[in-house]
């Protein structure tokens, strides 16, 4: 099977699993789950659940315990996108070629639907305890995701980004934001795949190290696409970094320098995975991230 065929198959699998866990209306509470579902069904690469399951499979993981975590990690990611798009942060009208949640449901419901998805992600992942005879692995996975999502991870990175909007001049601060805001959730995805497969501590640590480099490559490629990308392909406005006076790797090193850095991080991550002697799909997916057009 070619890489593209396997990627399509794995993406479709992730879509199927995510749809199984979407929220339903509850009495008078109809608009909130509708807004949550609107955001969750807008498409996207499903990169985090795909990577999570790919690592799980690569290490011989069995059973369906991974599925609530696949859905949950995508809910957490989508929550962050809803809040990124709000007027208080990026004030974007479109994402994935559709109006953003706050443009359809209003700013207040945009805030609430993002909050609700973050909470619902944990409600969903807790269902894993009904699907495993090794609850300690589910506990470790939940703890890992909570740490990578909170103030020491994604939300912490986002706070530094927002607090220093238009004033980031230090490469060290930029790397901190990228490691926390983007890499942390990718680290959680790949590490949880390893944890639930029963991997040892050293292997989990190495996979996390590779994932951190994947996150850096992925975010730098986002910087590049904001300058060179096609708005119709991306499904969101380009040149928003320039409009918002954001300091990025393109600002820091220019287009070619940013491309070189993305490729470097991607190759380093792929080499770590290759050193494990398995996981050719994971290696191919990592390299694909630096050449994607959306």
What does each C-alpha distance from 233 to 11, 133, 240 come to in angstroms?
A: 18, 44, 15
Q: Tell me, what's the pLDDT at 106?
A: 97
Domains: count for the chain: 1
Confirm whether 22 is domain-assigned: yes
Q: pLDDT averaged over consecutive 10-residue blocks of the chain (294 residues)?
A: 92 97 93 97 93 95 97 98 94 92 97 98 98 98 97 95 82 93 96 97 96 94 83 54 70 90 92 81 85 72
Confirm whether 294 is domain-assigned: no
Residue 235 makes CB contacts below 8 A (sequence gap 6+) with: 43, 94, 95, 96, 97, 98, 294
Tokens for 157? Answer: 């990175």
CA neighbours closer than 13 Å in the CB half-sphere of residue 125: 27
What is the span of the domain harbouring residue 91?
Answer: 3-288
Confirm whether 275 is domain-assigned: yes
What would the pLDDT profile of 175-225 be if each residue is shown by its tens digit?
A: 999 999 999 999 999 999 999 999 999 999 999 999 999 999 999 998 999
CA–CA dist 195, 142 (Å, integer): 10
Confirm whether 210 is domain-assigned: yes
96, burial (CB in 10 Å: exposed 0-12, middle 13-18, buried 19+): middle
Confirm whether 293 is domain-assigned: no
Confirm whether 138 is domain-assigned: yes
Confirm whether 213 is domain-assigned: yes
Give, as one character, the DSSP assignment of residue 181. I
Q: Are 226 and 238 in contact, with CB atoms under 8 Å apart?
A: yes
Residue 68 makes CB contacts below 8 A (sequence gap 6+) with: 21, 124, 125, 126, 127, 128, 131
CA–CA dist 22, 41 (Å, integer): 9
| Residue burial 219-251, b: 16+ Cβ < 10 Å; e: rest | bbbbbbbbbebeeeebbbebeebeeeebbbbbb
Confirm whether 61 is domain-assigned: yes
What Rg do the C-alpha atoms of the chain give, in angstroms?
18
Whole-structure pTM value = 0.92
Which residue in the block uniquely carries the two structure tokens 């995701």? 145
What would the pLDDT profile of 94-117 be if each residue is shown by its tens digit?
A: 998 899 999 999 999 999 999 999
User: Of 258, 163, 217, which Cα lies nearest the Cα of 51?
Assistant: 217
Q: What count of other Cβ atoms lies within 10 Å of the Cβ of residue 106?
A: 13
Provide the CATH number for the domain around residue 129. Answer: 1.10.600.10
Q: Are 217 and 266 in contact, with CB atoms under 8 Å apart?
A: yes
- Report helix, strand and coil shares of the chain as percent, to nearest 5: 70, 0, 25
């Amino acid at each position: 099977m070619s890489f593209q065929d396997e990627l399509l198959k794995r993406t479709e699998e992730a879509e199927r699993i995510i749809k199984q866990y979407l929220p339903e209306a509850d009495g008078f509470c109809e608009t909130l789950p509708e807004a949550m579902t609107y955001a969750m069904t807008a498409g996207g690469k499903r990169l985090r659940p795909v990577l999570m399951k790919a690592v799980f499979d690569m290490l011989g993981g069995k059973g369906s315990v991974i599925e609530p975590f696949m859905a949950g990690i995508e809910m957490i990611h989508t929550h962050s996108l809803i809040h990124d798009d709000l007027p208080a942060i990026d004030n974007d009208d479109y994402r994935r070629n559709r109006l953003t949640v706050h443009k359809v449901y209003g700013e207040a419901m945009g805030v609430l639907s993002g909050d609700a998805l973050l909470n619902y992600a944990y409600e969903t992942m807790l269902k894993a305890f009904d699907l495993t005879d090794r609850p300690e692995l589910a506990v470790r996975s939940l703890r890992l995701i909570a740490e990578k999502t909170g103030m020491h991870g994604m939300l912490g990175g986002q706070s530094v980004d927002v607090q220093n909007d238009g004033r980031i001049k230090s490469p060290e601060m930029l790397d901190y934001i990228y490691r926390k805001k983007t890499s942390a959730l990718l680290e959680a995805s790949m590490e949880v795949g390893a944890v639930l497969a029963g991997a040892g501590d050293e292997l989990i640590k190495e996979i996390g190290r590779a994932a951190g480099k994947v996150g850096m490559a992925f975010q730098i490629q986002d910087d590049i696409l904001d300058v060179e990308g096609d708005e119709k392909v991306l499904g969101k406005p380009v040149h928003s970094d320039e409009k918002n006076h954001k300091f990025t790797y393109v600002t820091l090193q220019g287009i070619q320098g940013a491309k070189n850095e993305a490729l470097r991080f991607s190759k380093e991550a792929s080499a770590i995975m290759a050193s494990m002697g398995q996981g050719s799909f994971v290696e191919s997916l990592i390299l694909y991230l630096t050449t994607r057009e959306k």
